[in-house]
Amino acid sequence: MKKTIQALSNHVKQGDTVKVISGKDKGKIGEIVRILKNENKVVVKEVNIKRKHVKPRKEGDVGKISQFEAPIHSSSVMLYNQEQQIASRVGYKTDESGNKIRVFKKLLSTK
């Protein structure tokens, strides 16, 4: 029997600025490039850089070392506010027209 991973609703979206809160890249700030919804992972620009050694395929080709951004778990990142320079959990509010908007919980508690 194969175990399936249940996709959670993400607190971050593609294009958001996030701060890494755990792991070897703790404290780094970057933009979300891609979201892997079924694995609950995100790819953040300039975070979790991995190297892959590529062998030459044909005669005359040269091997190389390619670098890429590997995914990290979405629970390891927190939404980041660049104006206030704080990372905070996400809350939801409805505005006067009835649309659901995301707000920073730390900014709600200070007001």
CB neighbours of residue 81 within 10 Å: 14
Q: Which residue has the tokens 């995100």?
A: 42
For 39-90, the pLDDT digits (tens) are 899 999 999 999 999 999 999 999 999 999 999 999 999 999 999 999 999 9
Q: Which amino acid is at 20?
A: V
Q: What is the pLDDT of residue 108?
A: 79
Over residues 90-100, mean pLDDT: 91
- Which pLDDT score is estimated for 26? 95
Report field, pTM of the whole predicted structure over 0.75: yes
pLDDT top residue among 108 and 15 = 15
Give the confidence band of 2 by pLDDT, cuts at 50, 70, 90.
Answer: low
CATH numeric code, 17-84: 2.30.30.30
Q: What is the pLDDT of residue 11?
A: 86
Contacts 24+ apart (CB under 8 A), 29-34: 29/80, 32/77, 33/69, 34/71
Question: Does residue 96 carry a pLDDT above 60?
Answer: yes
Long-range interactions of 101-110: CB distance < 8 A, separation 24+: 104/79, 107/81
